[in-house]
Amino acid sequence: MLRSLRRRGLYLRLIGLIVLLAAMYIAFMTNKYYLLFITNLVFFAAIVLAWNIIGGYAGQLDLGTTGYMGVGAIVSSILSNNIGLHPLISIILGGLSSALLAGAIGFPMFRFGVREVWYALSTAAIVVILNNAVRLLIGPYEYYLRVRPIKTYDELYLATSIALVLVFLLNHAVNNSRLGYYLKAIREDELAAEAIGVDTRRYKLLALMIYAFIVGSLGYLYVVMIGYFYTYRFFDTGISVSIAILGIIGGLGSIEGCLVSAFLLRGVGEYLRTSLAHIIPGLHLLLYGAVLITLGVVEPEGIPGIARRFTTLLKTTKRPMGVVK
Amino acid sequence: MFEPTAFDLSAIGTGVVNGLVLGSLYALASLGLALIFGVLDIINFAHGDILMISSYIVYLVALSTGNPWIALLSSLALFALFGAGVYRGIIHYVLGKEPLIQIAITVGLGLILQNLALALFRAEPRALPSTLFPYPLSIGPLTLSANRVFVALVSIILCILVHYYSTRTKLGLASRAVAENREAAWLMGINVPLIYMATFTIGVLLTTTAAFLWMQIGPVDPYLGTIFGLLCWIIVALGGLGGVAGIIASGFIIGVLDSLGSIFLTPSGKYIPMYIAFILTIWFKPRGLFGRR
C-alpha cells in the first residue's frame, strides 16, 4: 500500500495541501474570528473527505454522518470528562464505538440488500432515532467538558489541520488499494461486481466502518470547536445532508473535488450565513440548492466534470485550425 | 424516562383516534409521492418542502381573504402551474438518471423552497386564527374536534378518489401502463411525456390538498417539510407501491405510532417507534408490508 501511495505525485499533492493550510493560517492568524472560521472549514473538509469513502468510492448515499459523529463526540467526551481518560485515548475509543455502531447497523443493512434511496432514508432515520434516544438518555441539556487539552485557537487549527492531512492520506491509501478498486466497482455496477467475485457486502461494510471511525474520532474535535460542550443536538439530519451535498458536488470519489467543494462552497456559504443571516436567513442553503440543481441539470459529475470541460476547452482552443483530433 | 402521568383507557383511546386522524392525512400527503415515484420513477426528496410551501400559500391567502375555500382553490391553481413548471424545468432533465443525481437535484429544490420560506416568513410557526369547524364532537366516550373529523373524512374520500382515478379513468390507466413498461406504452400510442407531466402535477395537487387540511389542524414553519418528507417516504416504504389501500393502512400505522409515541415516550422520543418500524420493514419486507411490486 505504501508503494502505491508514492505513485501519482502524491507527495506533490500532500505538500500542496500543507502549503494551503499554512497559507490560510498566515492569512488569518491575527483575527481570532476568522481563525475559527477557517478551522471550521478545515474540519468540514475532513468530514467530507471521510464521507467520500462510503459515498464517493462505494457510492452509498450515507446521510448518517452526524449520527456517527455525535456518538463519537459523546462517548469520547464522557470518557475524558467523567472517567478521566487521556483525550487521545478517548478520541480513539469514541471512533471505535461509532465504528462498532456502524458495523451493527451496516451488517443487517447490507445483508438485506438495502440500497439507493432506501439506504439514504434509513441512515437519515438512524440519525433521528439516535437524536431521540440520546435526548431520552442524557436529557435536553448541554454538558461542558472539564478537561481542556486544547487551549488556544491556534492549537485548535493545528489539530484540525493534522486531522485533515491524516484523512487526506487515508483517502489516497483507499483510492489506490484493492479495497478502493472494489468499492469503485460496486459503485459503478453492484451486480456486475458481485458476478466477478467481489464480496460486495464485506467491502461496503468495511468502507462504512472506516468512515464511521474517522467521523467518530473527529467528533471530539467538534466538541472542542463549538465550545467544549456536548448535547443531543449533535444528531442533526440537516448537517448530514449538507455533508453529502458537498461530497456530491465535489464529484464522487474525487479527493481534490471534495476539498474544493468543501473549502469553496462551504466557505462562501458560511460567509453568507455569518454576514447576512440577520437580513436573509438561510442564504447559504439557498446557494447550496441552486448549485445542486444547476450541476444536476448541466454537469452531473460535479467539480471534476467542470474541470475536465474547462481543460478540453483550453486544449481545443490551442489547437491549430483544420486539424481534427 | 417515561412521564409519570396517569394513563387511563380514554387517554389511549383518544391517542389512537388522533393517530388515525393524523394517519389519514399522512396517507393523503404520501399518495402524491407514491404516484410520482411509481409512475415517473423519480426519487423526490423535495416532497415535504412542496407541502410546506403550499401550507404557507394556503395560510397567506386564507389570512388575507378570510375565506379558506378561496385559499384552497387559489393554491390549487397556483400549484398546478408550479408542478408543471418544476417538472419541465428540473425533473424532466433527470428522468431515468442515476438515483444519486435525482436525490441531489430534489434535495437542492427542497433546500431552495425551505430557505425561501425561511427568508420570507422567518422561523416562527404560523397557524390560522380560526378553523373551519371550531366545535367539539362527542362520539361515545371520546371527544374530538369536528375539525379533525372533517380532515380525516376528506383525506379518506380523496384517497378513494385517487384509487378510482388510477383504476377506472383513462389517464390513470395510461399512467399505470407507463409505470409498467414505458416503451410498450409509447408504442401503444400513449403520450408518455404528457403522462409524466400530468402525473407529477396531480401528485403536487394532492400534496397541496394535504397542506390545506394540515393548516386546519396544525401550524406551519419552514422545517415542516423535513418532518413530512421523511414521514411520507416511510409511509411509501411501508405501503409499497401496490396501491392506495397499502398507503392508507401504513398511514394509519404511522399516525398511531406517532400519536402513541408522544403519549408514552414524551414528544422528545416520539420518532423512535415509527423510525424503528421503518428500518425493520426495509430489512425484512423490502417491498413494503402490503406491496406487490
Report chain A residues whose CB lies below 8 A from the CB of B99.
61, 116-117
| Chain B contact probe: residue of A117, A246, A273 with most B CBs at under 10 A | A117
User: Does residue A4 carry a pLDDT above 80?
Assistant: no
B67 within a domain of the structure (yes/no): yes
Cell output for B233: 417516504
Pair B199, B35: CB distance under 8 Å: yes
Facing A288 at nearest CB: one of B111, B123, B276? B111
Predicted local confidence at residue A166, as pLDDT:
94
Planar angle of CA B21, B27, B29, nearest 5 degrees: 105
For position B124, which CATH number holds?
1.10.3470
Amino acid identity, position B290:
F
Helix (H) or strand (E) holding A184: helix A178-188
Nearest by CB: A289 against B111, B270, B282: B111
Instruction: Identify the H or E element spanning A87.
Output: helix A87-111
Does A287 score more than 70 pLDDT?
Answer: yes
Q: Do A300 and B116 touch (CB under 8 A)?
A: no
B189: closest CA among B169, B173, B174?
B174
Characterize the bridge pairing of strands A142-144 and A229-231: antiparallel
User: Phi and psi at residue A29, in whole multiples of 5°?
Assistant: -70, -20
- Rounded to whole angstroms, the Cα distance separating A84 from A67 reads 24
Q: Look at A114 and B265 and tell me if their CB atoms are within 8 Å.
A: no
Q: Could you give the angle at which helices B68-89 and B47-65 cross, rounded to 10 degrees?
A: 150
Minimal CA separation from B12 to chain A, in Å = 22
Report how many domains make up chain B. Answer: 1
Contact (Cβ atoms closer than 8 angstroms) between residue B230 and residue A124: yes
Mean pLDDT of chain A: 87
What percent of chain B is modeled with pLDDT above 90? 34
pLDDT at A8: 58
Instruction: Say if the Cβ atoms of A128 and B234 lie within 8 Å.
Output: no
Instruction: For chain B, count helices (H), then strands (E).
Output: 11, 2
Predicted confidence (pLDDT) at residue B2 exceeds the cutoff of 70? no
Cβ contact (<8 Å) for A252 and B100?
Answer: yes
Are B118 and A116 in contact (CB < 8 Å)? no
Q: Which amino acid is at A249?
A: I
Residues 6+ apart with CB under 8 A from B104: A245, A248, A292, A295, A296
**DSSP category for residue B220:** B
Q: Which of A289-298, B54-63, B188-197 has the highest mean pLDDT?
A: B54-63
pLDDT digits (tens, 9 = 90+) for A199-210: 889 999 999 999
Q: What is the pLDDT of residues A164-183, one digit of tens each?
A: 999 999 999 998 899 999 99
A45 or A198, higher pLDDT: A45
Rounded to a whole number, what is the distance in Å from the CA of B118 to chain A's nearest CA? Answer: 6
B:114-143 residues touching chain A, CB 8 A cutoff:
114-116, 118-119, 122-123
* Contact present, B213 and B25 (Cβ < 8 Å): yes
Round to whole Å and give the CA distance between A314 and A318. Answer: 6
Q: What's the confidence (pLDDT) of residue A229?
A: 84
What would the pLDDT profile of B65-84 be if each residue is shown by its tens digit?
A: 888 899 999 999 999 999 99
Q: Using the beta-carbon criterion (under 8 Å), do A290 and B269 form an inter-chain contact?
A: no
**Interface size, chain A vs chain B, as Cβ–Cβ contacts under 8 Å:** 134
Quickly state the pLDDT bin for A1 (edges 50, 70, 90): very low
Which residues in chain B touch residue A113, judged by CB atoms under 8 angstroms apart? 286
Nearest CA distance, B268 vs chain A (angstrom): 6
Which range is most confident: A132-146, B66-80, B256-270?
B66-80
Cβ distance of B110 and A252 shorter than 8 Å: no
Dist CA B194 CA B77 (whole Å): 19
**Kindly report the CA angle at A241 between A238 and A245, in degrees rounded to 5?**
135
Q: Do A129 and B103 touch (CB under 8 A)?
A: no
For chain B, what is the mean pLDDT? 86
Chain A closest CA to B279's CA: distance in Å? Answer: 6
Give the rounded percent of residues in chain A with a pLDDT score beyond 90.
44
Partner-chain contact A124 B230, CB within 8 Å: yes
**Residues in A touching B101 (Cβ below 8 Å):** 296, 300
C-alpha dist (Å) from residue B24 to A270, A321, B4, B138, B248 = 40, 67, 30, 20, 7
- Specify the pLDDT at position A91: 93
Task: Report pLDDT for A103.
Answer: 94
Residues of chain B with C-beta less than 8 angstroms from the C-beta of A238: 226
Given a cut of 90, whether residue A126 has pLDDT beyond it is: yes
Backbone angles phi, psi at A231, to 5 degrees: -160, 165
Do the Cβ atoms of A145 and A81 come closer than 8 Å?
A: yes
pLDDT > 90? residue B157: yes
What is the model's pLDDT at position A85?
86
* 3 state SS of B13: helix
Interface test with chain B among A119, A126, A292, by most B beta carbons within 10 Å: A292
Mean pLDDT of A38-46: 94
Q: How far does A189 lie from chain B, in Å, by closest CA? A: 11
The pLDDT of residue B87 is 92
Tell me which residue range forms the domain holding B39: 13-132+141-284
Strand partners, B136: B145
Burial code of B98-115, b = ≥16 C-beta within 10 A, e = fewer?
ebbbbbbbbbbbbbbbbb
Tell me if A114 sits within 8 A of A125, measured CB to CB: no
Say how far residue B274 (Cα) sits from the centre of its chain. 16
pLDDT bin (cut points 50, 70, 90) of residue A318 is low
Which residues have a Cβ under 8 Å from the Cβ of B139 and sit 6 or more positions away? Answer: none
Q: Are the beta carbons of B118 and A282 separated by less than 8 Å?
A: yes
Domain residue spans of chain A: 2-235
Tell me the Cα Rg of chain B.
19
Residue B6 included in any domain: no
CB-CB: which of B94, B99, B270 is closest to A296?
Answer: B94
Give residue for cell 432514508. A121
Contact assignment for B233 to A121 by CB distance below 8 Å? yes
Please, are residues A259 and A307 in contact by the beta-carbon 8 Å criterion?
no
